[in-house]
């Protein structure tokens, strides 16, 4: 069975990945809008990634204190806009919920039930644990913003007739080149252990370090080889992945105005590497790392 879900590896490390890749963060020119990319993990555990980190309950007192510290660090970026990975079409619904937090009707440590912010989350009491609320809302609230901006256009990768046709034929792509590949169970165990031993700020620093930003190399290995004859199921799935991220950049563009100097985009860490590429190509924007706002101890 091939992949029928959104395929990202949050914080994936692949052996020797940095040996062959040395991407850099460009320096913004005075007229460009700086876009700080903060890669995160899914604190409400929606289970939509191929490797899903086992998150502790972020509503407990220790984690709430850590999240306050993270918001303090991120506030130094002083963004004019806080953008989050939620469907852009649900902007009114999202900001109705944000207003409850901003106005003090709901506390950040309250296990509050409301319509799920995640489109596939069934447990309404989990939505309040999302990084969108706990980091995105908290930061925008700290900065006195009257809104947050959802920029995502979720799309499924795989699960198409083209994938079904290849699976039914018994097709398996040949490796041809022996490169390091990922053991998902081992990766999950490693990430779970790191999260358990780190503060929330420290774990976010790990997710945003260069070695971890190539999170979707495994996705390219799986998809780019998957096709036969006139069937390009895998490359077409990757095109869908790029389309999703291009739409996210476009929605960030919609969110700014002539007075905007900096945007902070809170997004699953698997998106950061590709978003950096796309933002670098767009002359009005300059992508920026979140690392300057994430201390090693915090």
Q: Which long-range contacts (CB under 8 A, 24 or more apart) does 27-31 make?
A: 27/286, 28/286, 28/288, 29/286
3-state secondary structure (DSSP) of residue 33: strand
- Burial profile 8-33: b = 16 or more Cβ within 10 angstroms, e = fewer: bbbbbbbeebbeeeeeeeeebeeebb
Q: Could you tell me which residues come within 8 angstroms of residue 167 by beta carbon, excluding any fewer than 6 positions away?
A: 1, 2
Cβ atoms of residues 55 and 63 within 8 Å: no
C-alpha–C-alpha distance, residues 158 and 6, integer Å: 8
% of the chain with per-residue pLDDT over 90:
63
Highest mean pLDDT among 53-62, 160-169, 170-179: 160-169
pLDDT band at 22 (very low <50, low <70, confident <90, very high): low
67-70 long-range contacts, Cβ below 8 Å, gap at least 24?
67/108, 67/134, 67/135, 67/138, 67/200, 68/138, 69/199, 69/200, 69/201, 69/298, 70/135, 70/200, 70/201, 70/204, 70/298
Q: Which residue has the higher pLDDT, 280 or 178?
A: 280
- Range scoring the smallest mean pLDDT among 115-119, 131-135, 204-208, 218-222: 115-119
Query: pLDDT at position 74, please?
Result: 98
pLDDT tens-digit series, residues 106-125: 999 999 888 766 666 667 77
Which carries the bigger pLDDT value, residue 267 or residue 175? 267
* pLDDT tens figures, 32-68: 999 999 999 888 865 445 445 556 788 999 999 999 9
Helices (H), the chain: 17-20, 61-75, 91-102, 131, 138-142, 161-168, 184-197, 200-208, 217-224, 233-255, 272-281
Q: What is the pTM of this model?
A: 0.88
Is the pLDDT at 135 greater than 60? The verdict is yes
Instruction: Give the H/E segment covering residue 268.
Output: strand 262-268
| 21/108: higher pLDDT | 108
Give the mean model confidence (pLDDT) for residues 55-83. Answer: 94
Task: Give domain limits for the chain.
Answer: 32-293
What pairs with residue 83 in β-bridges?
149, 265
Note the pLDDT of residue 165.
94
SS3 content of the chain, % helix, strand, coil (to 5): 45, 10, 45
Tokens matching residue 17: 């990945």
In percent, the amount of the chain with pLDDT more than 70 equals: 82
């Amino acid at each position: 069975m091939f992949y029928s879900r959104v395929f990202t590896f949050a914080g994936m490390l692949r052996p020797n990945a940095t040996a062959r890749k040395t991407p850099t963060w460009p320096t913004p020119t005075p007229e460009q809008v700086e876009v700080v990319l903060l890669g995160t993990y899914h604190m409400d555990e929606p289970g939509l990634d191929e490797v899903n980190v086992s998150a502790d309950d972020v509503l407990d007192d220790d984690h709430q204190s850590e999240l306050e510290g993270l918001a303090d660090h991120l506030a130094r970026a002083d963004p004019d806009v806080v953008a989050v990975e939620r469907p852009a079409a649900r902007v009114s619904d999202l900001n109705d919920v944000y207003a409850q937090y901003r106005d003090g009707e709901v506390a950040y440590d309250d296990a509050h039930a409301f319509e799920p912010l995640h489109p596939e989350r069934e447990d309404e009491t989990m939505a309040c644990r999302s990084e969108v609320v706990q980091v995105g809302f908290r930061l925008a609230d700290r900065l006195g913003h009257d809104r947050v901006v959802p920029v995502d256009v979720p799309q499924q990768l795989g699960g198409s007739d083209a994938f079904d046709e290849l699976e039914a034929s018994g097709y398996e792509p040949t490796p041809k080149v022996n490169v390091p590949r990922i053991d998902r169970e081992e990766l999950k165990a490693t990430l779970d252990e790191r999260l358990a031993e780190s503060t929330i700020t420290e774990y976010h620093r790990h997710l945003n370090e260069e070695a971890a930003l190539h999170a979707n190399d495994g996705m390219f290995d799986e998809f780019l080889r998957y096709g036969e004859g006139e069937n390009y199921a895998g490359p077409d799935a990757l095109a869908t992945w790029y389309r999703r991220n291009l739409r996210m950049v476009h929605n960030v563009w919609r969110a700014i105005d002539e007075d905007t100097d900096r945007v902070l985009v809170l997004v699953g860490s698997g998106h950061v590497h590709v978003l950096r590429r796309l933002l670098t190509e767009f002359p009005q924007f300059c992508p920026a790392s979140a690392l300057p706002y994430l201390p090693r101890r915090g």
